[in-house]
Structure 1
Amino acid sequence: MAKPASHPPLAERLRPKNLGEVIGQQHLLGEGLPLRIAFESGEPHSCILWGPPGVGKTTIARLMASSFDAHFITISAVLGGVKDIREAVEQATIWQGQGGRRTIVFVDEVHRFNKSQQDAFLPHVESGLFTFIGATTENPSFEVNSALLSRAVVYVLQPLTEDDLKQIIARVLSERALPAIETIAVEAVDRLVAYADGDARRLLNTLESLSVAARAEKITGVTDAWLLKVLGERLRRYDKGGEKFYDTISALHKSVRGSDPNAALYWFMRMLDGGAEPRYMARRLIRMASEDIGLADPRALRLALDAAEVYERLGSPEGELALAQCVVYLAVAPKSNAVYQAFNEAKAFIKKDGTRPVPLHLRNAPTKLMKELDYGKNYRYAHDEDGGFAAGENYFPEGMVDPGFYRPVNRGLEIKIADKLNELKAKNHQKN
């Protein structure tokens, strides 16, 4: 029996074969910009491609291999492990010994590999056996080992714009990539673009589903009404008057900041209904607890962390209740951005200020020589002072005036914190 001909999905058939066909990511691939320069240099380098799903990470990696005439090995960190890494090393070693042709090892979802698995790449990246390219949807600063990260350039890919996605639809139609569909009404295009939400793969998979339905119903033109009839619930979730994903998360954040639990819960449920990843929602809630509540109610941060852990244990839908509980708590909690502002002010101050030496009395003195050099001399151990406070002591570099970064607000626990700081300030004045 003859083997049936393979029919790759639309996303694979339309995958760009050269840089000129790539839609989007022009902040990296435009003339004179970082990735374009890397391609034109002829010298591959290890890198991390960080961005949301469906924005071209795999495509760029494949084009690098093609551009540099390199063997291309793909490893899925979701399905693979150390065995796959060993096999990649063996293949790269063989190819290197058969004429020195380069090898690129592409690791999809590299953040799914643990530390030891990521470490397995290091010696081979350093020796030049292969060029490492990792793709991740998560912040590599947190999910990729620092040793591996230091050996790779991080390129940040952005969600595709509405114009980018419309170009993809136009290309599908012009190339007759889906023969069953000849036209798509303007309103239907807008709805498809909104549903795709910056993800080219989601758009192409949706178009392929439409093609199957169009062939079955013997229609060639996609209207908005037919689109809604075919995809119904899937599109309804993203048909919210044209709002984008980040507009909705902004509405949630501002409702929490504005202490409106009902509005916050409304936007939270809108996001879940729209298919938002609950883990992403949990991360945003942790940020809100730190940024907008802070020390006015330190329990908020702990509750947000607990809610995230509950979700990890229970998953959906049970774990979503814990996240909803967190949303309501954050909304009704007293608000303070005093620590957030202090953090930003201190960060800006350090960037423009010189590197001031640490005063001798604050330096550590673990050796005899350091003690002879007066390290730690005249330091006052606060626990031995009256009330556990060394009144009048200075903890800033010599000659530096206290910049007063942290200014507690008159809400929640920060009322008591402000009282405490004022009391200590008065003791300092008395001592001085």
Structure 2
Amino acid sequence: MNIPLAERLRPQNLDDYLSQTHLVGEDGALYQQIKSGVIPSLILWGPPGIGKTTLAYIIANESERPFYKLSAINSGVKDIREVIDKAKKSGGLFTAKNPILFIDEIHRFSKSQQDSLLEAVEKGWVTLIGATTENPSFEVIPALLSRCQVYVLESFSKSDLEALLHRAVKKDEVLSKLDIELKETDALLRLSGGDARKLLNIFELIVTSFEGDTIEITNKAVLKQVQSNTARYDKTGEQHYDIISAFIKSIRGSDPNAAVYYLARMIEGGEDVKFIARRLLILASEDIGNANPTALVIANNTFQAVSVIGNPESRIILSQCTTYLASSPKSNAAYMAINKAQQLVKQTGDLSVPLGLRNAPTKLMKELGYGDQYKYAHDFENNFVNQEFLPNEIENTRLYEPGNNSRELAQRQYLKTLWKDKYGY
């Protein structure tokens, strides 16, 4: 059979759809919308092979709407207009069953291509569903993004992927006729990189390579059959995530040589320079932070510069930023502080802000004590006065722990002079 296993197993309804219960479970954000047929234009954001296209098909099937699909890789403005014209004829402004226009990899559309969608979305000629592996805040124009709901799809868990393999063995019209024993799955899962489509394609390749009546799937058998070319850089697949991971970890590990090597791998592979610059911008705060605040300034300027300049000259700017960040002192103190703070918020809920810190724009609020006893720091010596800022229930909780580097040691010493008795610096 010429139809790939991943396509043969594509779910046709919500009951068969794997994972993403936060979206399509009975309490999910999309569930009631799908069941009611009132679907907003939306963007599905998540890594490859986790069911974005399948979910779009299911939404169309469940709501009984015409379905049109475009790929941003090989479609232009002309193609968009042709599909919109067809959609207008098959749906219309005065029906709730307006067609669905699905655009795969919408982040690859230029501004003018995205602009050409605005009128159709705004006037309800189509319900747009875009799929992207990139942050839509960066890659989708604000005018279009404001007209869409953004839903984040989560990566498959190990149990999800194993369930998918067992489903293939039991339910696929071809594989169910074979004697297949799934003894080990770790190698399959590792090679798939969490991509369900890739997992099923590899699995089918392994199964068809066996001779004999019984097919025993073991890690050794899988690795023997699958030959991976690690020198190749596939910016849409597993290598995309492996190389950027190695790049970030090399900078975090203060190795400019390895970092610039992986940068070269991405540049030679045609990676989007803005994608690289965004990762550097995140790293500058997450891994360097207050150990060298200039790192964030340089990373931000790098992002702005490559956005204007483009290839091939952007490689020089990226190299400068990469080697600078890799050679910089490291601290994850700011990153850890916000992690601790968010966890504390989840544990303690919405604690009351102390009255003295509350805004008091009305007479009633002033009478209720809002803003009372607040001490304006600049009215005191050295612009500091000891007072309580946290809610009473969590007072004296230390969330920021300065790192062990010259800049943050100086920060620690400063905080110690202010808050030694309260926070114990």
Name the TM-score class by shorter chain. 0.5 to 0.7
Query: Is the CA contact (8 Å cut-off) linking 1:184 and 1:223 kept in structure 2?
Result: yes
Aligned to 2:61: 66
Query: Is the CA contact (8 Å cut-off) linking 1:72 and 1:104 kept in structure 2?
Result: yes
C-alpha distance in 1, partners of 2:212/2:172? 16
Per the TM alignment, residue 185 of structure 1 is displaced from its structure 2 partner at its CA by 3.5
Show CA shifts across 1:128-170 (max 9, x none).
2121111111111221122222222111101111111111111
Query: Is the CA contact (8 Å cut-off) linking 2:277 and 2:318 kept in structure 1?
Result: no
Aligned to 1:241: none
1:171 to 139, 151, 167: 167
Per the TM alignment, residue 119 of structure 1 is displaced from its structure 2 partner at its CA by 2.2
Q: Does 1:261 align with 2:254?
A: yes
Aligned to 1:15: 10
Aligned to 2:199: 203
Show CA shifts across 1:5-51 (max 9, x none).
x8322211111011111111112111122111111122222111111
- Provide the secondary structure at the position in 2 that maps to 1:261: coil
The one-letter code of the counterpart of 2:328 is A
C-alpha distance in 2, partners of 1:355/1:124? 44
Query: Is the CA contact (8 Å cut-off) linking 1:39 and 1:64 kept in structure 2?
Result: yes
Aligned to 1:50: 45
Q: How does 1:69-218 map to 2 (within 5 A)?
A: 69-96=64-91, 100=95, 101-179=97-175, 182-187=179-184, 189-214=185-210, 217-218=211-212
Per the TM alignment, residue 114 of structure 1 is displaced from its structure 2 partner at its CA by 2.1
Q: 1:416 to 1:86 in 2, by over 3 A?
A: same
- Provide the secondary structure at the position in 2 that maps to 1:290: helix
C-alpha distance in 2, partners of 1:76/1:168? 26
C-alpha distance in 1, partners of 2:170/2:337? 55
Query: Is the CA contact (8 Å cut-off) linking 1:178 and 1:211 kept in structure 2?
Result: no
Q: 1:408 to 1:12 in 2, by over 3 A?
A: closer
Query: Is the CA contact (8 Å cut-off) linking 1:335 and 1:412 kept in structure 2?
Result: no
Show CA shifts across 1:81-127 (max 9, x none).
21122112211221136995531111111111122322222222222
Per the TM alignment, residue 186 of structure 1 is displaced from its structure 2 partner at its CA by 2.2
The one-letter code of the counterpart of 1:8 is I
Q: 1:247 to 1:206 in 2, by over 3 A?
A: closer
- Provide the secondary structure at the position in 2 that maps to 1:49: strand
Aligned residues: 360
C-alpha distance in 1, partners of 2:14/2:209? 33
Aligned to 1:380: none
C-alpha distance in 2, partners of 1:321/1:124? 39
Q: 1:355 to 1:77 in 2, by over 3 A?
A: farther
Identity of aligned residues (%): 41
Per the TM alignment, residue 213 of structure 1 is displaced from its structure 2 partner at its CA by 2.2
Q: 1:94 to 1:212 in 2, by over 3 A?
A: same
1:285 to 272, 280, 286: 280
C-alpha distance in 1, partners of 2:173/2:257? 43
C-alpha distance in 2, partners of 1:231/1:410? 45
Deviates most, 40-49 or 285-294: 285-294
Aligned to 2:33: 38
Query: Is the CA contact (8 Å cut-off) linking 2:14 and 2:58 kept in structure 1?
Result: yes
The one-letter code of the counterpart of 1:82 is V
- Provide the secondary structure at the position in 2 that maps to 1:183: strand
Q: Gaps (5+ residues) in structure 1?
A: 1-5, 238-244, 358-391, 423-432
Larger radius of gyration: 1
C-alpha distance in 1, partners of 2:243/2:83? 43
- Provide the secondary structure at the position in 1 that maps to 2:164: helix
- Provide the secondary structure at the position in 1 that maps to 2:58: helix
Q: Give the TM-score of the pair, scaled to structure 2.
A: 0.66
Show CA shifts across 1:202-247 (max 9, x none).
1111123224423xx4564144222221114469x9xxxxxxx999
Query: Is the CA contact (8 Å cut-off) linking 2:287 and 2:332 kept in structure 1?
Result: yes
Aligned to 2:215: 221
C-alpha distance in 2, partners of 1:182/1:64? 35
